[in-house]
Structures are given as structure tokens and as C-alpha cells.
Amino acid sequence: MEGSLNVLGAGIAYGLAAFGPGLGIGIIGGKAVEAMARQPEMAGKVQTTMFIAIAFTEALALLGFVLALILSA
Amino acid sequence: MDGFAEKLASKLHHYSVLPFSDVNGTVDAVDPFVLTNYTFFLVIAFVITLVFFLVAARRVSIVPQGIGQVAEAGYEFIRNLCVDNMGKDGAKYAPFIGTLFFFILFNNVIGLVPGALPGTGSIGVTATWALMVFIVYNAIGFKKNGVIGYLKSFVPSGVREMGPGGRFTLGPFIFILEIVGHFLRPLTLAVRLYANMFAGGIILGIFGIFMILGVQQLGALGITMTGFGFMMLVIMYGFKVFVAFIQAYVFAILTSVYIGGALHASEH
């Protein structure tokens, strides 16, 4: 019984952890496209910054993934 | 839908770390020095990377041809990435970033071959590289800025120039926050690559099983399941090709950003 609750908790934890970063990465990507369309000559720099920003945002989802693995193990 | 759980379990078993001599067995590899299914493909990727660049470097000419052209274009791409993120002296670190990028790329691409596994789909492999990146960029930071200078850079200059009231309350707090952030860097670097490569294979496996079960069914349900499974399999495979490249690129770009930050730590 305890094990199945752990798995349920892992699923909920990952789902919630992916929710915020999902929104965040969507906003970052959208804004990056906006910036690139406005100033195509800055596309390279915008892309680099976008990847860095995505990495920071994604870190939260990855922490949720690790937590889910720990909970379900 | 009977049989789905068992097939899924056996498919997932294929992705766990097993000794290479007994891939179909039930015993997980616990001995750190045993050749596992992941390290087997890691060694293959290593050999391919080595041979690729040895062949490319064997016939160096002003106008590169064949493999040399591909290797040179790839290396130039990495060098530009380094210069963009680290400033003029970034080209010095291009061999390190390039080695990481191409080794990860070849590993990921090998994982696309049906039946093979990406060496990067094992947390031990990616964690080792992430730890190596962590040590390298911190060593560069300490060497370039001195121990005091590098540690000082963890507190932003705006806080350092505040009055003693702000400096001694906000300063330690931000310092601890930065330290935690630095220790999270290798963790996320390792988990990002591992999770993407590991999950990609499992998703393909799930849709593959879905298709097989659809073939076994009769009537409209079977046709729908087969069609849906096949369609998703093709789409996901295309997505996995994209992920294989993008994850190698992200690992390289983040490593160069971390090294760049350590190089120019004293400037902000």
C-alpha cells in the first residue's frame, strides 16, 4: 500500500514540477521568436540567451524528475 | 489490452543497466567494473568518434574534402560558439567543448539505431561528464581570478558596494544562494541529458508495443491502434533525431557559458 502511494506521489510531483517550467519555456520561446522577428541580425545572440534561460527554467522540472525517481524507487 | 503491462515491463527492462554478458538476464549490474549494455555502446561511440576525427585529420589540406569537410565545419561551429560565449580567448577551450559535443552527439545518434542504446542514457555516464565540467570551470575560475577574487564574484558588485548594513545582511544570503546554484549546475547538466535520452527510447518502446498489440487485435480497433502507433512512432523518431542534436548542443553551450562566466567572474 505504501509503495503504491509512493508511485502516486511521484506522478503528482513530476506533473506539478513540469507544469510551471512548461509555461516558462513556452514564454521564453515565444519571446525569443518575437525578438528574432523584430531584429533578425540579433538572432544568434537571442538564441544563445534563449538556451541559457531555458536551461535555468528546465532545471526545476529536472529536480521534479529526480524527486519522482527517488519517490518511486 | 492484456499483455501490455508485461510487454512494457520487458521493454523497460531492456533499458535498465545490465551486464553485457547477460543482457536478457534479470540481474542488474552492480559491479562497477563490469561491461554493461550502456558502456558497450559508449565504447562503440568512442571508437567511432576517434576513427572519424583521425581519418579527418589524416589528410589535412587547404581545401578539405569528404570527411575532413564535415569535421572542419563541425569544429568551426564549436569554435564560433566558444568565441561567442567566452570572448576572444574562448577559442582556447574549443577542443574541450568540441570533444564533449561530438562524443555526446555520436552517443545520441547511436541510440537512434534500433536495438542499440545511447551511452548517454545512463546516469553514471552523464554525471561523470557533468562533474568533469564542474571541476574544469571552477578550476579555471580559481586560476583566472584567484581564490578570493573568484569567491568574491559570487556576490554581485551592486551588493558589494552597498553600505555595511546591506553588505553584511544581503551578502551572505546571496553568497549561499550562489553556492547552491553552482552545485545544482552539474546535477541539472547530468539529469537533462540522461532524462532526455532515456525517456526518448522508452517512448518509442511504448508506441512500438502499442503497434504490436494493434496487429494482434481484429477489426477496426486493431487497425486504428496499428495506425496510431505507427504514426506516433514515426513522429517520435523524428523528434528523437532532433533531440539527439539539440541535447549535444545544449550540453556544449552550457559548458561554454559556465567556463565563460568563470573566465570573466571579476567583471561583474
Give me the total of CB pairs closer than 8 Å, taking one residue from chain A and one from chain B. Answer: 33
- Mean pLDDT, chain B, integer: 84
Which of A14-18, A34-38, B60-64, B114-118 is predicted with the least confidence, judged by mean pLDDT?
B60-64
Right CATH number for A2-72 from 2.102.10.10, 3.90.1170.50, 1.20.20.10, 1.20.1530.20? Answer: 1.20.20.10
CA dihedral B153, B154, B156, B162 (to 10 degrees): -90
ipTM: 0.71
* Closest-approach residue (CA) in chain B for A60: B188
C-alpha cell at B209: 508495443
Q: What is the Cα–Cα distance from B258 to B182, expressed in whole angstroms?
A: 10
Q: Which of B141, B131, B139 is nearest to B183 (CA)?
A: B131
Considering only the beta carbons, identify the residue of B195, B249, B257 that sits closest to A52: B257
Our CA-based measurement puts residue B212 at a distance from the nearest CA of chain A, in whole angstroms, of 27
Residue B110 — φ and ψ, nearest 5°? Answer: -60, -35
Residues near B27 by beta carbon (within 8 Å), at least 6 away in sequence: B18, B19
- Residues of A within 8 A of B188 (CB-CB) are 55, 58-59, 62-63
Q: For residue range B144-188, list pLDDT tens digits in order.
A: 888 888 888 888 777 777 777 777 888 888 889 889 989 989 998
3-state secondary structure of B19: strand
pLDDT of residue B62: 74
A10 at the B interface (CB within 8 A)? no
Considering only the beta carbons, identify the residue of B84, B195, B253 that sits closest to A62: B195
In which band, very low, low, confident or very high, does the pLDDT at A27 lie, cut at 50, 70 and 90? very high
Q: What is the Cα–Cα distance from B200 to B204, expressed in whole angstroms?
A: 6
Interface of B with A in 83-112 (CB under 8 A): 84-85
- Residues of A within 8 A of B249 (CB-CB) are 51
Residues near B146 by beta carbon (within 8 Å), at least 6 away in sequence: none
Q: For residue range B200-246, list pLDDT tens digits in order.
A: 888 888 888 888 888 887 788 888 888 888 898 899 899 889 889 98
For chain A, what is the total number of helices (H) and then of strands (E)? 2, 0
A48 at the B interface (CB within 8 A)? yes
Residue A48 has pLDDT above 90, yes or no: no
Considering only the beta carbons, identify the residue of A44, A52, A62 that sits closest to B188: A62
CA dihedral B79, B82, B88, B90 (to 10 degrees): -100
The answer to whether B124 touches B30, Cβ cutoff 8 Å, is: no
Question: Where do the structural domains in chain A lie, given as residue ranges?
Answer: 2-72
Q: What is the Cα–Cα distance from A45 to B84, expressed in whole angstroms?
A: 8
